[in-house]
């Protein structure tokens, strides 16, 4: 067995690291290499011939300007030129492959730069990812993906194509995906917009800035961005490419670097931002990092078109500037723009143009689109203009609302005379909004608000029918909102759902019919805990938005008693839908039976007297009776009392309401047989 001798000693330690890192030992071999190897000699000549002359006045975005602006030393210029070499000379790929002794490697890397540069030690500083060439996006490593924390020494160094073209051939041209924003007239900026513009102008060249431009869908964000750009004295390029491209970080960096070289900023409109960030209405979904986010050291401004603040959740606060709100395109501005784009065709249309300017709250580009479609029509009629405006109406209230196709006429709504008078008042009020708001000057005091109405009455009393009749009379689209679907068990979510709904509906005059309001009012109690307090806040928020809504908002409830005076005061009209009296029930029975059905055998006087039902229940009874009659094989569409009496009993059972045999009078025998299962109809 081997035994260790205590007298033996270890050999002296020799540190080989300094010898390994002594890159200067390659200088003699490299000099010999350049003198002997023709490929290396050719490469040197090509690189030296393109070294810029710094004495000439450089053009913005050129190689010379970039080197001066960034303070690049010789080795950095050399590495950048090495990366550019394969961008404009196809032969350089094979030259690089020869230098690297690998036919598959036709792009230079830092290892090659170290072999070619006189002092290899100087290339070491480019191994730092924070080097300006990498941090400003002028160079990136093709194999790095999105890991910017370290540099792969053998990874190909690439100059993005957009930057390469600008560095070598500086010009005013731009790629197809970037479109300059231009306007004939300079917009008048609000105070906060001018403040942001001044801040950008005085602090432009230090880092990346993000300016959110907030406004409803379709608003003129570009006009505001153009106004800011006039103060900062920079161009703005709007991205109009595929949003999916922006998920590639290198592509996003190349856009930002190109804009910096061109002294331009980037603008992503609301559709691009929404496509990448989503609607952001679901607060339970975590926000991911924004994919349109380049390196922070690229000193440009990115303008983001947003609808609400939630789309900014992932942007670092250190680069986020205050939100710039797009001024509302007012009624008077819309009317002036209509007259401008329609020109001579507006003769005799002042009244309808005024009405369309209030009813359809469109932005400039939508009005321009409508006017273009009307160019072939001369003269333009009121119906033409209304029809064209309605064709452009794109309402997206989401899953919270369903479009309603009105079915009922005015004479089908059977109510006491007082309620019919109130209906006529609502119709007159809606038709007078334009004149009263903008002719008489109530728009400022009442915030251009529309009409808010409460329909109160038991189920089946005609509340939905009344809303549909108003939709026909006013010629307005109608949407039904089931408040039981809007109410959320999580605190604060109900208000978010309501906000989303009203924000989507604000584009035009429509009818919002809030059904099943008891789902909200039923939660209102004395304030004992946080949930009670928020239940009351939800009702207050709904009534507040109804009060501010510029169309017609109708709230239907059968629990009017749950609304106190403070809430009722915020509603413009309150219409009670009482249970119909005997004569009204008789009219309803007559009305709901189809004209094609033989009802001569029905005792409508008896039905109206004996059964205190609402119109909705009577309609359900007649329909069920028709179904049973049709299935019995009788020809000619005939209803008998047997069919109707059985349908009445089924309706009472469905409502869980008791009814005695005596109430059926002479027809009680039908019910007795029905209970025994021996009735035949």
- 609-659: pLDDT as tens digits: 999 999 999 999 999 999 988 876 655 678 999 999 999 999 999 999 999
How far apart CA 75 and CA 81 sit, in angstroms, is 10
Find the DSSP H helices in 319-462.
Answer: 331-342, 350-359, 364-373, 382-391, 417-431, 433-434
The pair of three-digit structure tokens given for residue 10, joined into one six-digit string: 């270890």
The pair of three-digit structure tokens given for residue 571, joined into one six-digit string: 């509603």
Task: Measure Cα distances from 292 to 54, 217, 307, 473 in Å.
Answer: 35, 20, 17, 48
Computed over every residue of the chain, the mean pLDDT equals 83
Is 582-676 in the same CATH topology as 401-576? no
The pair of three-digit structure tokens given for residue 557, joined into one six-digit string: 């409830």
Pairing of strands 324-325, 301-306: unpaired
Q: In a 10 Å sphere around its CB, with 0-12 CB exposed, 13-18 middle and 19+ buried, how is residue 241 labelled?
A: middle
- The full length of the chain comes to 681
Does residue 62 contact residue 172 with C-beta atoms inside 8 Å? no
How far apart CA 637 and CA 465 sit, in angstroms, is 26
Does residue 376 contact residue 577 with C-beta atoms inside 8 Å? no
Q: Which residues lie below 8 Å from residue 583, measured CB to CB, with a gap of 6+?
A: 608
The three-state (H, E, C) secondary structure of 263-328, written as one string: CEEEEECHHHHHHHHCCCCCCCCCCCCCCCCCCCCCCCEEEEEECCHHHHCCCCCCCECCCEECCC
Residue 337: CB atoms within 10 A of its CB come to 18
Cis peptide before 379 (omega within 30 of 0): yes
Domain boundaries along the sequence of the chain: 20-168, 178-325, 331-392, 401-576, 582-676
Q: In a 10 Å sphere around its CB, with 0-12 CB exposed, 13-18 middle and 19+ buried, how is residue 49 labelled?
A: exposed
CATH of 401-576 among 3.40.50.300, 3.40.50.11540, 3.50.50.60, 3.40.50.2000? 3.40.50.300
Does residue 382 contact residue 466 with C-beta atoms inside 8 Å? no
Residue labelled with tokens 């250190």 = 318
How far apart CA 594 and CA 599 sit, in angstroms, is 9
How far apart CA 65 and CA 52 sit, in angstroms, is 10
End-to-end CA distance of the chain: 114
Residues with pLDDT less than 70, the chain: 1-31, 46-56, 143-151, 184-186, 204-205, 278-293, 397-398, 487-492, 519-536, 632-636, 678-681
Q: Tell me which DSSP letter residue 378 carries.
A: S
Nearest alpha carbon to residue 640 among 621, 661, 626, 620: 626
How far apart CA 681 and CA 665 sit, in angstroms, is 19
Residue labelled with tokens 């309401």 = 657
Nearest alpha carbon to residue 459 among 556, 571, 586: 556
How far apart CA 250 and CA 293 sit, in angstroms, is 10
Three-state secondary-structure class, residue 553 = strand
How far apart CA 235 and CA 393 sit, in angstroms, is 33
CATH of 178-325 among 3.40.50.300, 3.30.70.1900, 3.40.50.1010, 3.10.180.10? 3.40.50.300
- Tell me, what's the pLDDT at 145? 47
The pair of three-digit structure tokens given for residue 279, joined into one six-digit string: 């609607």
Residue 360: CB atoms within 10 A of its CB come to 22
Does residue 555 contact residue 546 with C-beta atoms inside 8 Å? yes
How far apart CA 504 and CA 640 sit, in angstroms, is 49
Mention the CATH class of domain 582-676: mainly alpha
What are 122-148's pLDDT values in tens digits? 888 988 888 989 888 899 877 654 444
Does residue 282 contact residue 493 with C-beta atoms inside 8 Å? no
Q: Which residues lie below 8 Å from residue 592, measured CB to CB, with a gap of 6+?
A: 615, 618, 619, 622
- Tell me, what's the pLDDT at 443? 85
The three-state (H, E, C) secondary structure of 556-592, written as one string: EECCHHHCCHHHHCCCCEEEECCCCCHHHHHHHHHHH
- Tell me, what's the pLDDT at 12? 67
Does residue 192 contact residue 91 with C-beta atoms inside 8 Å? no
What are 261-310's pLDDT values in tens digits? 999 999 999 888 888 776 444 443 334 445 556 778 888 999 999 988 88
Transcribe 115-135 into DSSP letters. Answer: HHSS-HHHHGGGGSTTSHHHH
Burial 265-278 (b: 16+ CB within 10 A, else e): bbbbbbebbbebbe
Nearest alpha carbon to residue 644 among 595, 681, 609, 591: 681
- Tell me, what's the pLDDT at 680? 57
The pair of three-digit structure tokens given for residue 400, joined into one six-digit string: 């919270």
How far apart CA 425 and CA 6 sit, in angstroms, is 115
Residue 179: enclosing H or E segment and its boundaries? Answer: strand 178-180
């Amino acid at each position: 067995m081997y035994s260790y001798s205590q007298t033996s000693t270890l050999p002296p330690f020799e540190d080989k690291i300094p010898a390994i890192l002594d890159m200067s030992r390659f200088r003699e071999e490299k000099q010999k290499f350049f003198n002997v190897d023709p490929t290396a000699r050719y490469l040197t000549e090509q690189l030296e011939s393109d070294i810029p002359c710094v004495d000439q006045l450089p053009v913005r975005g050129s190689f010379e300007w970039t080197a001066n602006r960034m303070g690049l030393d010789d080795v950095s210029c050399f590495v950048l030129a090495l990366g550019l070499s394969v961008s404009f000379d196809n032969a350089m790929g094979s030259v690089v492959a020869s230098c690297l002794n690998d036919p598959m490697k036709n792009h230079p890397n830092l290892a090659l730069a170290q072999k070619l540069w006189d002092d290899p030690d100087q290339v070491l500083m480019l191994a730092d990812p924070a080097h300006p060439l990498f941090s400003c996006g002028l160079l990136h490593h093709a194999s790095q993906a999105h890991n910017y924390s370290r540099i792969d020494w053998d990874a190909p160094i690439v100059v993005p194509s957009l930057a390469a073209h600008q560095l070598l051939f500086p010009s005013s041209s731009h790629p197809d995906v970037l479109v300059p924003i231009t306007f004939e007239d300079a917009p008048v900026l609000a105070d906060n917009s001018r403040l942001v513009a001044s801040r950008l102008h005085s602090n432009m060249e230090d880092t990346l800035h993000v300016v959110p431009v907030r406004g409803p869908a379709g608003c003129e964000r570009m006009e505001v961005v153009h106004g800011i750009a006039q103060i900062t004295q920079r161009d703005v390029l709007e991205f109009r490419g595929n949003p999916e491209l922006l998920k590639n970080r290198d592509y996003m960096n190349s856009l930002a670097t190109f804009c910096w070289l061109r002294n331009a900023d980037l603008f992503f409109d609301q559709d691009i931002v929404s496509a990448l960030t989503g609607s952001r209405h679901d607060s339970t979904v975590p926000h991911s990092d924004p994919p349109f986010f380049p390196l922070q050291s690229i000193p440009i401004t990115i303008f983001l078109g947003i609808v609400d603040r939630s789309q900014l959740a992932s942007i670092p606060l250190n680069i986020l500037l205050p939100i710039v709100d797009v001024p509302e395109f007012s009624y008077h501005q819309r009317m002036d723009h209509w007259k401008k784009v329609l020109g001579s065709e507006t003769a005799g249309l002042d009244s309808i143009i005024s009405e369309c300017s209030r009813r359809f709250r469109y932005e400039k580009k939508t009005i321009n689109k409508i006017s273009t479609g009307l160019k072939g029509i001369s003269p333009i009629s009121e119906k033409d203009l209304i029809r064209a405006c309605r064709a452009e109406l794109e309402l997206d209230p989401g899953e919270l609302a369903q479009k309603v196709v009105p079915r009922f006429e005015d004479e089908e709504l059977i109510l006491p005379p007082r309620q019919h008078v109130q209906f006529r008042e609502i119709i007159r009020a809606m038709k007078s909004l334009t004149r009263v708001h903008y002719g008489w000057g109530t728009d400022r005091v009442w915030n251009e608000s529309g009409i808010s109405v409460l329909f109160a009455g038991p189920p089946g009393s005609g509340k939905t029918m009344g809303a549909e009749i108003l939709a026909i009379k006013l010629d307005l689209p109608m949407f039904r909102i089931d408040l039981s679907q809007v109410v959320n068990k999580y605190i604060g979510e109900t208000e978010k759902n309501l906000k989303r709904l009203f924000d989507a509906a604000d584009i035009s005059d429509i009818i919002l019919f809030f059904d099943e309001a008891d789902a909200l009012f039923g939660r209102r109690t004395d304030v004992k805990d946080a949930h009670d307090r928020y239940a009351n806040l939800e009702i207050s928020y709904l009534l507040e938005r109804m009060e501010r809504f510029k169309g017609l908002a109708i709230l239907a409830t059968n629990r009017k008693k749950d609304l106190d005076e403070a809430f009722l005061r915020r509603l413009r009209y309150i219409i009670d839908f009482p249970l119909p009296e005997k004569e009204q029930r008789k009219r309803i029975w007559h009305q709901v039976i189809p004209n094609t059905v033989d009802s001569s055998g029905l005792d409508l006087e008896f039905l109206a007297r004996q059964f205190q039902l609402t119109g909705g229940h009577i309609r359900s009874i007649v329909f069920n009776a028709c179904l049973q009659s049709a299935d019995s094989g009788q020809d000619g569409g005939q209803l008998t009392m047997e069919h109707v009496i059985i349908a009445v009993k089924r309706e009472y059972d469905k409502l869980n309401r008791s009814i005695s045999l005596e109430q059926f009078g002479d027809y009680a025998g039908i019910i007795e047989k029905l209970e025994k299962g021996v009735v035949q109809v």
